[in-house]
Chain A
Amino acid sequence: MSEKILEIRNLHVTFETPSGPLEAVRGVDLDVSAGELLGVVGESGSGKSVTFLATMGLLPTRAKVTGSVLLAGEQLIGASPKQLRSVRGRLLSMIFQDPLSALNPVHRIGNQIAEMLQSHQALTNREAQTRAVELLDIVGIPQPTDRSQQFPHEFSGGMRQRVVIAIAIANNPKVLIADEPTTALDVTVQAQILEVIERVQERFGTAVVLITHDLGVIARVADRVNVMYAGRNVEQGTIDSLFDHPSHPYTRGLLASLPRPGMQRLKPITGFPPNMLNPPKGCAFHTRCEYAAEVCKLDLPELQTFGDLQTACVRAKELPRAEVLS
């Protein structure tokens, strides 16, 4: 196994809300190895975005973050704003969900990329502009020299997402976090954006964290997968082991709810995600789990190695082996 570049340990994020504290992330452990493509999957509100916004130090100040995040050996939780700024954009950068609003409407594309370059490298304006044009070329924007002088509104959604990627990879970061980068785009454009991300990963050896709720996207590009539910990591493993024989009932439910050829009707997971202001005691999934027993309501289950996977389910060993999905 290659070197671990990002290690998240026991991460907790709590928001103060008018109805009381809301713990959006409840003790997440997660590793990213250099150069790998890790998929993080979970439904809305599972804490997947918040986990990585906390890693970037981009949460609003009212969010309370505890735990440990080591990036190339450097502790980010509790780091000074100055230290965080030197990491952001240089070692760690992020692509956001909505490319239509992620770019500043009043600045030229080339300048927005140049700003990223110049914030971490001593470049003259001309050098930065030249490099910006190269980056636009790398992410597959035709006529990059002309395009760099244009404004965001002159770009389509997919093209804007390419620009956002160009900004994110400008300083050749160690880790690139892609927060639902294709959710806001057309299906045909989605595939192209995923290709750009994969190309960046291969060409520059960048580790990519791909946050999504789309298992189809994960299956296409990820090396490893991390499944999140109610602010916890419930299962992680390689893409093959997780898709072939998922252990956690939630993962099984997710996979069973995917449409497949020959399927008469979709099989959804019943019920709703828990209210995070008042999460259920014990395993947060027990309210919706068809295998739930009394033991599930006692303690928060920790990740345990189970075959090729790590699963946070106390009953994982007792459950019937999942049917192989193909």
Chain B
Amino acid sequence: MFRYILRRLAWSIPTLLLVTFLVYLALRIGTDPVQSYRRVNPRASRAKIQQYIDVNGLDPNFVKGYFTWLKNFLTGEWPPSIKGRREVWPALKDAMANTLRLGSAATVVGIVIGLFAGVLAALRPGGRRDVFINTSAFVGISVPPFISAILLQLLFAVYWQKWFGASLFPTSGVYPAGHTGFDLFLMLKFMALPTLVVAIQIIATYSRYMRSSLLDVLNSDYMRTARSKGISERRVLIKHGMRNALIPVVTIAALDVGSIVGGLIITENIFSYPGMGLYFLKSFGEGDFPLLMPWMVVIVASVLFFNLIADISYAWLDPRIRLE
């Protein structure tokens, strides 16, 4: 197992190189980084432009340029953003922290409730409870986040204010304007609505996963063997049922977490939540190459990493899978 993990980690290095090269190509071809720089700095001197080209690895030769970019990236000499000449790392770090906070809150809430609902649905398939959970799940899956976000903002902010005089949850940002320092309660209040929007999607999909996975397991012969031992129904369900039903769900969850790091673009935009999604939208809109490349590296690395986590958890949960 340990050797497998080492080998996978070793393999992820060429993968990262290849994917970042493709991303580099796409950005060079899709946006024109030099043109973006000229647009923001119309009076930049020839020397300034050449310096920008050099530090960012924007040589006309793509391969040569890529390796220049790679060298600067690895040695920590990250060029500043085009707009405002800000340092990239602090901005990226803040965006990552905000998204991880929102993403993990939504994932924990969503998966816990989703799995619970899925189990309840699977225990009496076709029953009233099952129909209710299924219907809700389909509604949750069908309503896109930009609809549910606006509905929630209307309810908890606009109408709440109309009815009770003050809105219950704020609709944008992480803290009120001008706030400095850390305040957990305030932060949770600001996170509530975006978390809910993301969690609804997760609850809906995971209740479906869990329901079908548990139904498969409940009909299997080893559940009958377990019952024939005379052990309690709860033990049958948890030790034999859930243990097996969770195998595919955990694997999917690990993959999903990997994509959430870059995937809350819509929700973050609606709530002006300064995470990875908003970071991407802004820097992409401005063609800000120095901001975009590190973002891409983070996304690729997180997808690779959580793929590895998914494989490891699969092998850890299912003895039939051996990682060689």
- Which A residues have a C-beta under 8 Å from some C-beta of B? 56, 58, 81, 84-90, 93-94, 96, 98, 101-107, 115-116, 119-120, 151, 153, 164, 167-168
Contacts and interface: CB of A to CB of B under 8 A. Distances in A.
B317 interface: yes
11 contacts: A87-B230, A88-B228, A88-B229, A88-B230, A103-B222, A104-B243, A104-B244, A107-B239, A151-B319, A167-B229, A168-B228
Contact of A119 (B222, B229, B240, B247): B229
B188 interface: no
Q: Among B247, B317, B319, which residue has the most Cβ atoms of chain A within 10 A?
A: B319
A56 B228 CA distance: 7
A89 B230 contact: yes
Contact of B225 (A87, A96, A151): A96
The 4 residue pairs across chains A and B that have the minimum distance between CB atoms? A89-B230, A88-B230, A101-B221, A104-B222
B230 A120 contact: yes
A104 B319 CA distance: 11
B228 A153 contact: no
Nearest to B124: A61
Nearest to A94: B228
Contacts of A116: 229
Given A153-B319, A153-B320, 14 more contacts: A56-B228, A84-B230, A86-B230, A88-B227, A89-B229, A98-B221, A101-B222, A102-B222, A103-B225, A104-B222, A106-B243, A106-B247, A107-B239, A120-B230
B242 to A, nearest CB: 11
Nearest to B220: A101
B52 to A, nearest CB: 57
Nearest to B320: A153
A102 B319 contact: no
A210 B227 CA distance: 20
Interface residues of B, number: 22
Contact of A96 (B221, B231, B243, B319): B221
B218 to A, nearest CB: 10
A118 to B, nearest CB: 9
Interface of B: 220-222, 224-233, 239-240, 243-244, 247, 317-320
A183 to B, nearest CB: 13
A87 B228 CA distance: 9
B228 A106 contact: no
Contacts of A81: 233
Nearest to A111: B239
A85 B230 contact: yes
Q: Among B222, B224, B244, B247, which residue has the most Cβ atoms of chain A within 10 A?
A: B222
B227 to A, nearest CB: 6
Given A119-B229, A120-B230, A96 B320 contact: no
Nearest to B227: A58
A81 B239 CA distance: 19
B81 to A, nearest CB: 50
A54 to B, nearest CB: 13
B225 A164 contact: yes
B229 to A, nearest CB: 4
Contacts of B232: 85
A264 to B, nearest CB: 41
Given A96-B221, A101-B222, A167-B225, A106 B319 contact: yes
A90 B231 contact: no
A85 B319 contact: no
A107 B229 CA distance: 15
Given A101-B222, A105-B244, A58 B230 contact: no
A81 B236 CA distance: 14
Q: Among A85, A86, A104, which residue has the most Cβ atoms of chain B within 10 A?
A: A104
A104 B230 contact: no
Nearest to A118: B231
B174 to A, nearest CB: 42
Contacts of B240: 104, 107
A93 B116 CA distance: 33
Nearest to B231: A119
A9 B319 CA distance: 45
Contacts of B230: 84-90, 119-120
B233 A105 contact: no
A88 to B, nearest CB: 4
Contacts of A167: 225, 229
Contacts of A102: 221-222, 224-225
Nearest to A170: B229
Contact of A85 (B231, B243, B320): B231
A93 B226 CA distance: 11
A161 B227 CA distance: 17
Contacts of B319: 105-106, 151, 153
A120 B320 CA distance: 30
Nearest to A151: B319
Nearest to A164: B225
Nearest to B226: A104
Contacts of A168: 228
A119 B320 CA distance: 26
B185 to A, nearest CB: 42
Nearest to A89: B230
A303 to B, nearest CB: 29
Contacts of A153: 319-320
Contacts of A88: 227-230
B230 to A, nearest CB: 4
A105 B231 contact: no
Nearest to A87: B230
Nearest to A103: B222
Contacts of A90: 230
Contacts of A58: 224, 227-228
A146 B74 CA distance: 50
A209 to B, nearest CB: 14
